[in-house]
Each structure stands twice: as structure tokens, then as C-alpha cells.
Amino acid sequence: MKTTLLVTAALVAQLALGLPGTAGRLTTILLPMVFVIGPPLLREERRWPHYAFALGLAWDLLLEPVVGPGTIAWSASAVAISLVVPLVADRSPRAWVVFGALAAACFILVRHLTLLPLGLAADLTWAYLLSSVVLTSLWCGLVGWLIALDLPSRWRSHRARKLR
Amino acid sequence: MTDRRILLLRTALLWILLELLAAAQVRSSSGDPVLWGWTRAAVAPLIWAGTTVGSSIAQIATVVTRSAELASLNRQLELELEAARTMRRIIDEDRAAQRELGSLIARLPEISSTAVPARTVFRDLERGLMIVELGGGRRIDRDSPAVASGGVVGRVIRSEGRRCWIELVTHPVAAIAVQTPDGRVQALAVGSRAGELELQFVPRTAELLRGDELVTSGADGIYPPGLPVGRVSSVRESAEAFLDIRAEPAADLATNRVVLLLDDRTVAAPVWSQTR
């Protein structure tokens, strides 16, 4: 339930920012990407790539002109990450940055390839690709850093020290 | 197959379905869904291949049918050609028979007016039998002599309608009284299964040489005298009182096409012309 709310919030925030590829630099960021690279890095259950389909369908319904390309792109990113993550032992925020960049690049390329035969693909520029990859990886790195900080336990420790 | 491969295969299949779903939603410039264009693009080669194969099969069927018609026509033409060749052979035979008849009549000028020409329609040399067919409806008596361009062929043993059965001189039971043209040697020529004539009752003292000609003597009452019968082919002495003499028939029994049936035997025939 908490994850569903978080995903919904991320999609609403993405909707507020705008569809990737539209005007504005922040629109290139892929906010829901943390829900694709998060589960494998946090050693969650292995069925999480299936949930990427649900994420993609929601993405398509809210942000894409047709249903399909977004679902394919999100599930492709999830599958790519599922293949790569077991090869790396690092689970630090730096891994979040790297896998976020990898997943973002995979998402953009696959989405472009799926839109291309439909005649809906916009021009894919290096600037857009680089911007999206960097911003999304930084966003993932931020989330990974926050998770690594473990703020709830720190807050509970701080309250415990003050109560003493 | 591992779980990962199964997962990847299912995912890939799902991607394909999702792409088709997206193609069904997007419309092309013509207003049709993009999926419809993809379907046409995928089906077009199959339609083209089907059309091409169908056209090829139709052409092949046409060629086969045409070939069968040509083969049938060719067969019909072959039959017609064979019929024409047969007709030509018949005509050639008729012309040859006419020439032979002319030659035969020229040799027997005295009896040609009373003789009846007949065409050979069947012959069996081993059985010594020949069947001839008359031109007109005249009836031929039994034992009428038959002569060809070379000489005596045999005698009529049966006559029905226009057909006459002739016992050849080579028939084992046929016998002709013969003599040399000067009458010094007389004998009885009987047939043999070897297609030759055996001269019987020729004494050892007879002066008969190989190559001597033999003609009918008329002593048998069937054949008029003077008709060529054969030519001596071998003369041997034996332990018996008579010579063992063999002769070849004068007439070519294997190839003659026309015979003359001497119905009126009162006409003597020492008038056999040697002209050829």
C-alpha cells in the first residue's frame, strides 16, 4: 500500500513536471525510476519486474498518447536491471546512481524504438539523452543516499537520547 | 529452460502484444490504424506469393493441357501418316501387281484372253497354300492351273465366290508331270516341305544337269504342256534305281502378286514367251 502510494505520488509529480521530451529541463527526469532499481538493490522479492508492467501501464495512461510503449520501456528497464544487478555487490548510493543512469538510458532508447514504427517518436538528441540520464541517476542517487541514511532509526535514536 | 529464460520469453511476448496494442490505437495518415498497415504489409508478400504460385500453377496446367492436346494431335497425325503410308504401300503394290500382270499377259499372249487374273491375298508357303481373289464374279473350276510371271504356281482346289484356294506346286501332295523342253527326260515333280520340288522316276541314264529347265508335259491332265515349272538345283545318285533330283520352282511363290487362272485348258501353252 505504501509503495502504491509512493508510485502514485511519483507519477503525479511526473505529470506535474511534464512528459519527458517536452519543453523544460526538469521534464527529462524519470521520477518513477527509483521503483525500478530500488527493489533489486534492496533485495526485494524477484517478482518485482512484473510490477514494472503495472507501473508502465499507469505511465502510459497518464503520460503517453497510446498504451503500450511506456509499458514496454519500463519493463525493459526492469529486466535490464534484473540482469545486471546480481553481477555487482555494491549497494551504496553510488550503485543507485549507476543503475539509475543505466535504467534511464534503457528506458529512453526502448521507448524511442517502440514509438518509431508507430510514427510517434520525437527526435532523440544526445542532449536530451544525457540530461535525462544524469538527472534520473542523480535522483536515484539521492533516494539511495536517503535510504542509506536510514532517517527513521536515526530519528528514533535521537528521541531516545533526548528522553534520557 | 531456466526460470530466467522463461521470464524473458514471456516478457518479450508481452512486449510484442503491447506494441500491437499501441499500433491498433495509432492511426496513420490515411485514417486506418497502423496495425492494419502492418497486417497488410505482412500479408502482402503471402498474397503475392499465393498469387504468383497460383498463376504459375495455372500456367503449368495450361501448358500440360496444351501438351496433352498436342500429344493427342500428334498421335492423330501419326496415325493419319501411317494410314497414308499404308495406302501408299497398297497403291505401290497395286501398281506392281499391274506391271506384273502386264508382264504375265505378255508372256501368255494366246491364253491371256481366256485366262482369269487374280490378286494374291494370302499365302502360307509352309502349308503350300495360297488364296487369290478374282476381279470379277466368274466361277473357276477345281483343278484349274494357276501361273505367275515365272511359271506354274499350282492348281485350284477350292473356289468360293471371288476367292480361290490354290495348292502350290511345293505342297507335299502336289504332283506335276514335267519334262525337259526337248522332251528327252520326263518325270513327276512333287512338292516337299523344304519348298523345293523333287523329281521322281528319273532313270540313272537320264541326261539331266543342274540348271536344266523343266516344263509341264501335260501328261497329268491338269496343266497344259509347255509351262515353266522349275529349274534343276541338284542331281544326286542314290542306291535306288532313280536319280535324286531336286528343283527350284520357276515362279517366285513368296512375292508374286498376281496369278492367271487358266480356266480354259483346251488352249495349249507351248507359247510361253521368254520375254521379260
Q: Which residues of A touch B22 (CB under 8 A)?
A: 66-69, 114, 118
For helices A34-41 and A48-63, angle between their N-to-C axes, nearest 10 degrees = 170
C-alpha cell at B245: 533330283
| CA closest to B35 among chain A residues | A118
Q: Of A8-12, A28-32, A110-114, B105-109, which range is least confident? A: B105-109
Task: Report the pLDDT averaged over residues B9-34.
Answer: 88
Residues 6+ apart with CB under 8 A from B211: B231, B232
**Domain ranges across chain B:** 1-107, 117-261
Say what the pLDDT of residue B55 is. 95
| CA closest to A73 among chain B residues | B15
Closest-CA distance, A100 to chain B, in angstroms, reads: 21
Q: How far is CA A9 from CA A36, B42, B197, in A?
A: 15, 42, 135
Inter-chain residue contact A118 with B21, CB threshold 8 Å: no
Q: Which residues of B touch A67 (CB under 8 A)?
A: 18, 21-22, 25
Say what the pLDDT of residue A43 is. 72
Inter-chain residue contact B34 with A118, CB threshold 8 Å: yes
Q: Which residues of B touch A (CB under 8 A)?
A: 7-8, 11, 14-15, 18-19, 21-23, 25-26, 28, 34, 38
More confident position, B56 or A34? B56
Inter-chain residue contact A71 with B18, CB threshold 8 Å: yes
Q: Are strands B175-179 and B186-191 parallel, antiparallel or unpaired?
A: antiparallel
Q: Which residues of A touch B10 (CB under 8 A)?
A: none
Say what the pLDDT of residue B272 is. 55
Interface test with A, best of B16, B19, B39 (most A CBs within 10 A): B19
Q: Of A32-41, A42-51, B36-45, B124-133, which range is least confident? A: A42-51
Q: Is the Cβ–Cβ distance between B146 and B261 less than 8 Å? A: yes
Q: Is the Cβ–Cβ distance between B208 and B233 less than 8 Å? A: no
Task: Report the pLDDT averaged over residues B21-28.
Answer: 88
Examine the pLDDT at A110 and tell me if it is beyond 90.
Answer: yes
Report the C-alpha gap between A50 and A62 in whole angstroms: 19
Burial class (CB in 10 A: 0-12, 13-18, 19+), A97: buried
Q: How far is CA A22 from CA A118, A128, A139, in A?
A: 19, 10, 19
Say what the pLDDT of residue A15 is. 83
Neighbours of A121 (CB within 10 A): 15
Task: Report the pLDDT averaged over residues A100-126.
Answer: 89
Q: Which residues of B touch A73 (CB under 8 A)?
A: none
Q: Which residues of A touch B8 (CB under 8 A)?
A: 79
Length of chain B: 276
Q: Is the Cβ–Cβ distance between B159 and B139 less than 8 Å? A: yes
Nearest to B26 among A53, A71, A118 (CB): A118
Smallest CA-to-CA distance from B272 within B157, B56, B107 is with B107
| Predicted ipTM > 0.95 | no
Say what the pLDDT of residue A138 is. 93
Beta bridge partner(s), residue B198: B190, B246
Domain B117-261 superfamily per CATH: Rod shape-determining protein MreC, domain 2 (2.40.10.350)
Residue B117, φ and ψ in degrees, nearest 5: -75, 145
Q: Is residue B276 very low, low, confident or very high in pLDDT (cuts 50, 70, 90)?
A: very low
Closest-CA distance, A118 to chain B, in angstroms, reads: 6
Examine the pLDDT at B275 and tell me if it is beyond 50.
Answer: no
Report the C-alpha gap between B68 and B1 in whole angstroms: 57
Q: Is B51 left (phi over 0), alpha (psi -120 to 50) or beta?
A: alpha
**Domain ranges across chain A:** 30-163
| CA closest to B13 among chain A residues | A72
C-alpha cell at A56: 508502465
A118-144 per-position pLDDT tens digit: 888 778 888 888 988 999 999 999 999
Neighbours of A135 (CB within 10 A): 20
Q: Of A26-35, B96-105, B135-144, which range is least confident? A: B96-105
Interface test with B, best of A47, A57, A66 (most B CBs within 10 A): A66
Nearest to A119 among B14, B21, B26 (CB): B26
B162-186 per-position pLDDT tens digit: 899 999 999 999 999 999 999 999 9
Residues 6+ apart with CB under 8 A from A103: A33, A36, A37, A77, A78, A80, A81, A136, A140
Q: Is the Cβ–Cβ distance between A64 and A55 less than 8 Å? A: no
Q: Which residues of A touch B (CB under 8 A)?
A: 49, 53, 65-69, 71-72, 75-76, 79, 114, 117-120
B182-210 per-position pLDDT tens digit: 999 999 999 987 889 999 999 988 888 99
Q: Is the Cβ–Cβ distance between B231 and B213 less than 8 Å? A: yes
Say what the pLDDT of residue A160 is. 86
Say what the pLDDT of residue B268 is. 47
**Mean of per-residue pLDDT scores for chain B:** 87
A66-83 per-position pLDDT tens digit: 899 999 999 999 988 888
Q: Is residue B1 very low, low, confident or very high in pLDDT (cuts 50, 70, 90)?
A: low
Say what the pLDDT of residue A65 is. 84
Q: Which residues of B touch A75 (CB under 8 A)?
A: 11, 14-15
Neighbours of B188 (CB within 10 A): 17
Say what the pLDDT of residue B217 is. 92
**Mean of per-residue pLDDT scores for chain A:** 85
